[in-house]
Amino acid sequence: MSKKVLKILVFLVVVALVGAVGAPGISRAAEPIKVGGGFALTGDESALDLPAANGAKLAVKEINAAGGVLDRPIDLVVRDSKYQMDVTAQIAKQFVEEDKVVAVVGFTDSDSVLASGPIIQKAGIPFITAGATSPKLPDQIGDMMFLACFGDNVQAAAGAEFAYKKFGKTAYLLIDKGVEYTTLLGAYFKARFTELGGTLVLEDTYEDKATDFSAQITKLKALEKQPDFYYIAAMPYNVGPVVKQLRDAGLTGPVVGGDGYDTPDLVSVAGTAAENVYFTTHALMDAKNGTEGIKKFIEAYNKEYKTDPENAFAALGYDAVYLLADAIKRAGSTDAAAIQKALNETKDFKAITGSITFSGSRVPQKGVTMILVKDGKFTLAEEIVPEKVPSPDTK
């Protein structure tokens, strides 16, 4: 009991200090809006979560510098889940009980979202995931769960339709069955592509931590006739080697992938092999050819973290916070139900990764950007809204 009292005292002192010291543009008595930031900052998922956390923190910094939300600064409480599910559940409880947050943002994978989601849902607090792209999440967790990114079914459908029209009816599919993201992407792609009339001439799998794809590539090369394109679902740490080895083997056909490709590492690692690679992602992250918002983001990210945004998740983390801030502003309060209502009413919110609208679904309607790697740079190939999207339940 005394520990709890001590904690409350500390909290009050901190709040008092924050209020006293203040930041430019914030009134002296402004109580910060506490937002929980759950991320797996150590462990296998950290390559994705750390950029997402960085993006989120950058957004908070910018918002506070501009006066905060409802004249109050945002206090992003970042907690590391270590990619351990029991810890993930614990930090969700800490957000609800100890930090008393008004909303939670975070995570880039379904395991973590599903470990923390039910707790946050039960507390009636809005939860916006930065980068978990499984479209089933809002149904699995509840009406407080929102995605800040499109679902994998959307980007896979976009990829299938684009490639079917542009490249042809035959394709090769390569996934890692042990990772949810690639499995989902592959399943949705297969569903949409075959529905359009395409055929998969060869399907294959690789291991998550594989660095050598020569066996699979040799098998592919042995086909009598190469398929019109290759759909390869991969995580940011696999895209470089797989593309490089594919090209090194002499296969020059177009490669199509998902947002895992959205990392500078694709070009740094694969070099010229990355030519003729297409991938669906949230927005064109290029300092010269991106939108104004993207350009400013890249510049600010570089200034703060001394590196280019490592992958799409940096921008998604950034957007999740801005989306939340916008909802709070429109709600006019930090009441959970009000925020939830405002989120549901979000229409054409100009996030840097695209325009977000939640209309009847808590997976946003967001356009898919198809990027082509040309001359070592990411270029915009097409903005796509898929005609038909496979149901989230597709196996």
Partner 1 sequence: MNLTNYALQQILNALSIGSLYALMAVGLAMVFGILRLINFAHGDVMMVAAYIAFFCLSAKMPLWLTVIIMVVGTVLVGIVMERVAYRPIRNAPAIAALLTSFAVGQILQNGTLLTTRFASKPVQIAFPAPPELSGTVALGALGVSRVNLIAFLVGPILLALLTLFITRTTLGLSMRATAEDIGAAQLMGIDTNRVIVLAFVLGAGLASIAGLLYAVQAGQINPYLGFTPVLKAFIAAVIGGFGSISGAMLGGYALGFLEVLLTALPGLGDILPASSTNPALIAFFKTYLPGTLTSYRDAFVFVILILILLFRPGGILGTAETRR
Partner 2 sequence: MTATARSLTSTTTATPSRRANRIGVFGLALVMVALIVLLQNSGSSVWQGIFTNLGMFIILVASLNLASGFTGVFSLGHIGFMALGAYLAAILTLPLETKAAYLNRLPAWLAVVHLDMMVGPFPLGFLLATIIAGLAVALVALLVGAVLMRLSGNFVSVATLGFLVIVRVVLINADDFTRGSRTFSNVTPYTDLWWVYGWVAVTLYCVWRLKNSAFGRAMFAQREDVAAAQSIGIVIMRPRLLAFVLSAFFTAVVGSLWGHFITSFSPNTFYFDLTFRVITMMVVGGMGSVSGSVIGPVIVLAISEGLRRIEDSTQLYGISGLVLAILFIIIVVARPGGLLGDREINFGWLGRLARR
User: Where along the sequence are the contacts to partner 2 (CB under 8 A)?
Assistant: 41-43, 77-80, 82-87, 89-90, 93-94, 96-98, 110-111, 114-115, 118-119, 134, 140, 177-180, 183-184, 393, 395
Q: Which two tokens stand for residue 305?
A: 């973290």
Taking the least distance from each CB to partner 1, the nearer of 55 and 364 is: 55
- DSSP secondary structure letters along 119-152: HHHHTT--EEESS---TTHHHHH-TTEEESS--H
Q: Out of 209, 329, 374, 377, point to the residue binding partner 1 (CB under 8 A).
A: 209
The option from partner 1, partner 2, none interacting with 19 (CB < 5 to 8 A, set by class) reads none
Give the whole-angstrom CA distance, residue 77 versus residue 386.
37
Identify which of residues 42 and 140 has a Cβ nearer to partner 1 in the complex.
Answer: 42
| Pure H helices in the chain | 2-21, 46-65, 85-97, 110-122, 137-141, 152-166, 180-196, 214-221, 236-248, 265-270, 292-305, 312-331, 336-344
Nearer to partner 2, 98 or 387 (CB): 98
Q: Which is nearer to partner 2, 57 or 244 (CB)?
A: 57
Q: Report the residue from 1, 24, 28, 250 that binds partner 1 according to the rule CB under 8 A.
A: 250
Considering CB distances under 5 to 8 angstroms, the limit depending on partner class, which of partner 2, partner 1, none binds residue 80? partner 2
Q: Residues with Cβ < 8 Å from 178, sequence gap 6 or more?
A: 207, 208
Nearer to partner 2, 89 or 294 (CB): 89
Q: How far is the CB of 46 from partner 2 (least distance, A)?
A: 8
User: Should residue 241 be labelled a site residue for partner 1 when binding is judged by CB under 8 A?
Assistant: yes
Query: Under a CB-based contact definition with an 8 Å cutoff, are residues 318 and 54 in contact?
Result: no
- Please give the residues from 91 up to 150 whose contact with partner 1 meets the rule CB under 8 A: none
User: Which of the listed partners (partner 1, partner 2, none) does 84 bind, with a CB threshold of 5 to 8 Å by partner kind?
Assistant: partner 2
Report the residue number, 39 or 213, with the smaller CB distance to partner 2: 39
**Count of residues binding partner 1 (CB under 8 A)?**
46
- Applying CB under 8 A, does 194 fall inside the site for partner 1? no
Percentages of the chain per state (helix, strand, coil), in multiples of 5: 45, 20, 35
Task: Look up residue 351 and give its two tokens.
Answer: 């996030």
**Residues whose CB is less than 8 angstroms from the CB of residue 224 and which lie 6 or more positions away in sequence, other chains included:** none
The answer for residues whose C-beta is within 8 angstroms of residue 248's C-beta and 6 or more apart is 273
Binding site for partner 1 (CB under 8 A): 42-44, 46-47, 50-51, 177-178, 201-205, 207, 209, 211-212, 214-216, 218-224, 236-237, 240-241, 244-245, 248-250, 264-265, 268-270, 305-307, 310
